[in-house]
Structure formats: structure tokens, C-alpha cells
Amino acid sequence: MEAREDRVASVRDFGLGLVRSGHGSAAEIQKALEQLDDAQRTLHTAWGDRKTLLGHAKDLQDFLVVLEQREAWISTKEASLALHNLGVSGTNYQSSVVEVEDLLRRHAQLEVQLDHLEHLDEVQTLGQQMIQQNHYDSSNISTKIKALAIRTTRLVEQSQTHRTNLERSLQLHHFLSSSLEVCVWLKERRAVALDESWRDWTNLQSKLLKHQSFQADVLANQNRVDALIQEGEGLVSCSPEVNAKVSARLSEVRDGWTTLLSSGQEKNCRLQQAYQALQFQRSLDDIDEWAGSVERELTNEDCGSDLPSVNRLLKALQGLEEEVDQYRDRIQTLMETAKSLVSEGNHLAQEIQNRTTQSISRYNGLAEPLLCRRETLESWQLLFQFYRDEEEELTWMTDRLSANSSTDYGNTLSSTQQLMKKHQVLMQEISSRTPLVQAVQEAGQSLVRVRHFASHDIMERVGELQRASEDLRREGLRRSGLLQEALRIHHFLSEVLLPVTL
């Protein structure tokens, strides 16, 4: 048509030239020119209409291509979202966490694409332009735009729902992974808390300190467990399937934590009780060891060989008695401690009671041997005292007996008088000594009356002392008589010889 424009213009110019030149057929030429213009306008109009129609048809095809691409993309995303892939893959929750995080990253890319669609939607732009241009298929275009918008909106909603589900899935798998780790930790700690190391008393103090450190470590995880339980409780209101998983795991965590705390406290109590029992047993061991030494001391058969040695033994026995008496307060304290341990429910209560009873019986059993030992030593002390007193008196009387047995009665009156004075002094001494001798005899007789083990020897010594006393008294009387006779003789001689001398 453009190529014919010049020809039509040339024909028009030629016709107009004929009309202007006054051609005889100017009227017909003018009419022909008008018909040419009408035909050209009709052609241009028809061509314009055809061009517009073809343009609309092309735009429609372009629109449909873009629409089809968009619908295909949406269909793909709808199909992907319809799979409801939330990253659940068996019981390996740590792997599931990684999988869900990867799904969230990919979903974020989808959300970016959806957001881009909402701001720069080519289909919407093309469709609106065609409608504004009064496209012949505007109604269908408008319907398709609305349908696409609805699908896009629904896809966005599905995307948001899927994100929410993915985030919940991530929370769930985070919880399941963390709670599984906590459950394993609880089982490991519970195994430690449930061991019965308190039954072996070796290094009990070290075990107690170690368990106290263990309990401190357990309590340091209180916030961790509480946070995990709180996290799980926030997931309980989800789907029934999630609810079942979370509830089961929460029960496991709560029960495990409660059991761990109670087991730890029970073990601590057992260790404390065992340590208290050990300390108590050591105190009883000290008592028993001391009682054994006292018992060995009391089995000593040494009763001394004389009065000083038996006195030393009695002094040692007195010290032992005082020591035993001093232990009475310690025994009383141990009895009270035993009662306290039993009343507190110590798991070794029966053993403590039995051992305490044995130690108390052993302590109380010292009284009789102590008394027997004292009686024995005191018996020997009385015997040695009697022996010493008897020997002293016997020695004294023997010395005095030799004086009374003297045959020296004096050669002169004065010498005899001097001997008489000495003898009178001796007799006074003997007389004053008699109560002592009698006291020694009485002591011996008293020992015999109480059936002293050495009664036979004592009686012999008392008899010997009695005989010596009688001999001394008899010899004293005899010497007194002889000295008096000597005095009479010397007086007589002095009276007879005096006149002769004169």
C-alpha cells in the first residue's frame, strides 16, 4: 500500500491539473478524483482496522504466552507446596533440623520470587494495557487476570502457611534434637546417681565431695531443662501427631529430671549416712582399742613383790580407773549419737545399734575386772603392809631381846644401878611398844577373819610375833629380877664392907 501511495498521488495530481486547466471533462475528472479519495480512505480505514485487529491478536498471543508461563510456574510451586515437605526424616532429629533449615532457605527464595511477582507482574501489566486499549477479548483477558490473581494470592497464602509449618517443624525438630540430647544426658547422670558406691566405705569423704560436685553440676542445668520444658509446652497445641511426640518427650524429660534429682538426693543422703556411720565406727574402734588395752592391763598378774611395788601398782590402777571413768562421758556421747543416727533413719541403723551395744557392753564389762584387780592388789597391799609391820616389830623385839638376854649385871653398885636404869627405860619402851605389836597382831587376825588368801602364813607370823612378844616380856621380867638381886647383893656387900674399911 505504501508503494502505491506515490502512484495514487501522481494520478491525483494529474487529475487536479486537468481540472485546473479547464479540461472539458473537468466535472467528471473531479468526480473521479473524489471517488479515488473515497476509495483511498476506505482502503486506509480497512487497513487500519486490519492492523488493529492483527495487533490485538498478537498482543493476545503474547499475553497468553506470558500467562501460560506464569500459570505453569504457579502450578509448579503449588505442586511443590502441596507435597507438605516439612523435613521429617526418621528419628535423626539433628539431620532433620539441617533439612528443615535448608527447606526454609529454599522457601525464602520462593517468597522473594512471589514478592517480586506482586510488585512487577508482567501478566497484570499486559492485560490491563489490552483492556485499556479496548481489546476485542477484554472480557476473557479480565477473567484470566482475575483467575491468575486469585491463584497468586492463594499461592502466597499457601507459601505463608508452609513457612509457618516449616518454622514449627524446625521448632519441633530443634526441640526433639535438644530434648534427645537432654534425655541422653539425664540417663548418663542417672546411672551415676543410682550407683551404690556408698556401700564401699573406701574413700567415702572423697566420694561425698565428688557427689556434691556432681549435684552442683546437675542443678546448674536446671534452667536448661526448664527452658526445654517451656519450649515443649509451647509446641503441644500443634497437630495431634506433633502433640503426641512432644508430650511423650516432655514426659520423658520431666520423669528423667525428677528421677535424677531424687536419685541424686538419695545417693547424697546415703553417702552422708555412710560417712557418719564410718566416723561413728571409727569412734567405736577407738573405744574398742582402748578397752582392749585396759583389758590387757587388767589381765596382768603382777601383784608386786613388796609394799612399794604394790603401792605403785595400785597408783597405776587408780589412774586406769580414773581414765575409765573419764571415758564414761564419751560413751554417753556415742550412745546419743547412735540414737540420733537410728532416729534419722540411717540405712546402717541396725549395724550401728549392734556395734554400739557391743562397745557399751565391753565398756561396762571393765568394771568387774577393775574391782577384782583392786581387791587383789589391796589384798597384797594389806599382806605386804602386815609383813613389813610384823618384820619391823619382830626385828625390834629381837634387838630388845638380845639386850634382855645380857648377862652383864654390873660389878659395882653404881654400875648395877646404871644397868637397872637402862633396863627400866627398856621396859618402859617395851610397854609403850606393846599397843603397836598388838595392832600388828590385830591386823593379821583381821586378815585371817576375812579369809585372806595368805591366812596360814599370816597366822604363823602372828604366832611368831606373839611368841617373840612373850619371850621379850619374860626375859625383861627375868632381867629385872636379876638386876634387883644384883642390887641387893651390892647393897649388902657395901654395908658389910664399910665397917671393915673404917
pLDDT (tens digit per residue) in 27-86: 888 888 778 778 778 877 777 777 777 877 887 888 888 888 888 888 887 887 776 556
Q: What CATH number matches the domain at 378-501, 1.20.58.60, 3.40.50.300, 1.10.3720.10, 3.40.50.2000?
A: 1.20.58.60
Distance between CA atoms of 126 and 66, rounded to whole angstroms?
9
Report the pLDDT value the prediction gives residue 116, as an integer from 0 to 100: 67
Mean pLDDT of 449-474: 91
What's the CATH class of domain 2-156? mainly alpha
Residue 158 is inside which H or E element, if any?
Answer: helix 138-194
Query: Does residue 500 surpass a pLDDT of 60?
Result: no
Residue 300: strand, helix, or coil: coil
Q: Of the candidates 205, 186, 207, which has an alpha carbon nearest to the alpha carbon of residue 196? A: 207
Please say if the pLDDT value at position 92 is more than 50. no
The C-alpha atoms of residue 211 and residue 271 are separated, in whole angstroms, by 9
- And the C-alpha cell for 284? 567405736
Burial 34-48 (b: 16+ CB within 10 A, else e): eeeeeebeeeeeeee
Range from 107-111, 195-199, 207-211, 310-314 that averages highest in pLDDT = 310-314
Alpha helices by DSSP H, listed for 83-137, are 93-119, 122-132
Q: How far apart are CA 458 and CA 243, in angstroms?
A: 105
Report percent pLDDT > 70 for the chain. 93
Output the nine-digit C-alpha cell for 470.
Answer: 612373850
Q: How far apart are CA 472 and CA 474, in angstroms?
A: 5
Here the cell at position 129 is 494495557
Q: Which helix (H) or strand (E) holds 4?
A: helix 2-20
CATH numeric code, 284-375: 1.20.58.60
Question: Is residue 183 predicted with pLDDT exceeding 90?
Answer: yes
Calculate what percentage of the chain has a pLDDT beyond 90: 30
Position 2 scores a pLDDT of: 60
95 pLDDT above the threshold of 60? no
In CATH, what is the architecture of 180-272? Up-down Bundle (1.20)
Mean model confidence pLDDT for the chain: 84
- Residues 7-16 pLDDT 10s: 777 777 777 7
The average pLDDT across 454-478 equals: 91
Which residues, other chains included, contact 42 with Cβ-Cβ below 8 Å and sequence gap of 6+? Answer: none
What's the pLDDT at 255?
94
Name the segment(s) of the chain with CATH classification 1.20.58.60.
Answer: 2-156, 180-272, 284-375, 378-501
The residue-averaged pLDDT of 172-186 equals 88
SS3 152: helix
Residue 350 has pLDDT above 80, yes or no: yes
Residues 324 and 369 sit within 8 Å (Cβ to Cβ): no
DSSP state of 22: T
Return all residues near 8 (Cβ < 8 A) that are at least 6 apart.
36, 40
Distance CA 374, CA 321 (A): 10
Question: Considering the entire predicted model, what is its pTM?
Answer: 0.61
